[in-house]
Chain A
Amino acid sequence: MPEMIAEWLNQNEIFTATTLLHYWGGLVTTVQLVFLSLLLGLILAVPLAILRTVKNPFVSGPIWFYTYLFRGTPLLIQLYVIYYGIAQIEGIQDTFWWEIFRAAFYPALLAFTLNTAAYTTEILRGAIVATPQGEIEAAKAYGMSWLMRIRRIVLPSAARRAVQAYANEVIFMLHASAIASVVTIVDLTGAARDIYSRFYAPFDAFIAVALIYMVLTFALVYGFKRLEHRLLRHLRPVGG
């Protein structure tokens, strides 16, 4: 087997060890970027979604505005505004923040996090609003406080309803992360663009990366199917 791979690598002009390593580096960057932005986005979205359902318009209004803004405009524009905009903040070049935001990775992470947080907030809000009234009444009858109700009743049941839509959001984010290559980040797409321009071989470079994305996507789809299967076990028909 190893000889076969070595032979294949020797015969191949484009997919040499160097380019494969370049793709690997891109894969690591993409996974880091997507995983971190999803994680941070989810952490932001849970409190935002809860506050978004609060009756007071001074609390829910600004959150509505935030999600409307980030869901209504292209992610590419958000990325450009943050990437080019941060350098324009007065005096930032003298603080330690400049060390962090000078590279493209952190501005991109910030843009992706804010974007996915906006979408996730709306997904969770939809799930929270759909909580059956009876469950909340029962919790009240047990004397649960608001916080305990949210923690013990509303959030677990909302999470089950949200998981399907959230799976779509995760895949959307994986695909959207391809635009990171526009601001000089060498993610998977960035690696493919480098390899394309080095060999002038668009089909090899981009079809290879498309296959990698496809494997990642279907792995995620499978993972979420399993998760859904587990979470919604109590809703399955008997013997189904």
Chain B
Amino acid sequence: MLDLKGYGPALIEGAFVTIELAFLSLALALFLGLIGAASKLSQNRVLRGGATVYTTLIRGVPDLVMMLLFYYGGQVAVNNLSDFIYDTYGVDFFFQFDPFIAGVLTIGLIFGAYMTETFRGAFLAVDEGQIEAAKAYGFTRWHTFRRIMIPQMMRHALPGLGNNWQVLLKTTALVSIIGLTDMVRVAEQAAKAERSPFLFFIPVALVYLLITAGSELFIKWLNKRANAGVIQGD
């Protein structure tokens, strides 16, 4: 059996941190992506402009730089805020901005921009007639969005969503750089201490491969469900 020199439990715990981080970031990214796509497609120029600035800025900056900015900058911002509150209201509060929060915020924000593009394309692919029919039935705009647009665009969004998820999962490794004890960080510390990088990094790499392979199957299944009733040409 594989001898992990006592680091086994820490690695497993780290793997769960990675998974938790990935899922929370995904939830934030999906939420931001829906809002972003809705803004990009709206009639309101301010919303459209805001969403365009958001996606353009995110695409220009490396994820690690943004993470460092959020982590170190976030702490400074929180400290300034608590100083300000102390000076004006006399309330003393301290908040430690931890790497997990910084990681979720950064990854969610970055992938929110990618999701925006995915969802935007998918919304555009929904048949115009469906929306007209909803209008004819007297649906409100929110109702049309929730009942007609979202279920029908999912089938177009799924392939892009799947790709984004795979990239997101790999991006979570970066959070180890700002000090989160995920499996990459545990493996790095163990590899340094025991001077055996292969022993610790190869199992971690395998966990990533396992998760990607598993989600590939899951997305295939979702795709099949979302496309039920669609006659596919070749």
Contacts and interface: CB of A to CB of B under 8 A. Distances in A.
A75 B69 contact: no
Interface stretch (A96-104, A135-143, A156-164, A189-197): A189-197
Nearest to B211: A72
A193 B69 CA distance: 10
A192 B201 CA distance: 28
A126 B68 CA distance: 36
Interface stretch (A37-45, A51-59, A176-184): A176-184
Contacts of A207: 69
Contacts of A206: 65, 68-69, 72-73
A213 B64 contact: no
**Contact-size category for A:** 35 or more
A174 B208 contact: no
Contact of A73 (B66, B73, B177, B209): B209
Main secondary structure of the interface of B (DSSP, over half): helix
A218 B58 CA distance: 12
Interface string A203-222: 10011011001100110000
Contact of B65 (A77, A178, A182, A203): A178
Interface in A66-120: 68-69, 72-77, 80-81, 84-85, 88
B65 A210 contact: yes
A175 interface: yes
Given A80-B191, A88-B197, A202 B64 contact: no
B64 A80 contact: no
Contacts of B198: 81, 85, 88
B205 A210 contact: no
A175 B72 contact: no
Contact of A74 (B57, B61, B62, B184): B184
B62 A213 contact: yes
Nearest to B197: A84
Given A76-B184, A175-B62, A196 B173 contact: no
B174 A77 contact: no
Contact of B197 (A76, A85, A193, A209): A85
Given A203-B69, A203-B73, A81 B201 contact: yes
Contact of A72 (B64, B73, B76, B212): B212
Nearest to A180: B64
A68 B59 CA distance: 25
Contacts of B197: 80-81, 84-85, 88
Contacts of B66: 210
Contacts of A209: 65
A76 B201 CA distance: 10
B188 A203 contact: no
18 contacts: A72-B208, A73-B205, A74-B172, A74-B208, A76-B176, A77-B173, A80-B191, A81-B198, A81-B205, A85-B198, A88-B196, A178-B64, A178-B65, A202-B68, A206-B72, A210-B62, A210-B69, A217-B59
Interface of B: 57, 59-66, 68-69, 72-73, 75-76, 170-174, 176-177, 184, 187-188, 191-192, 195-198, 201-202, 204-205, 208-209, 212-213
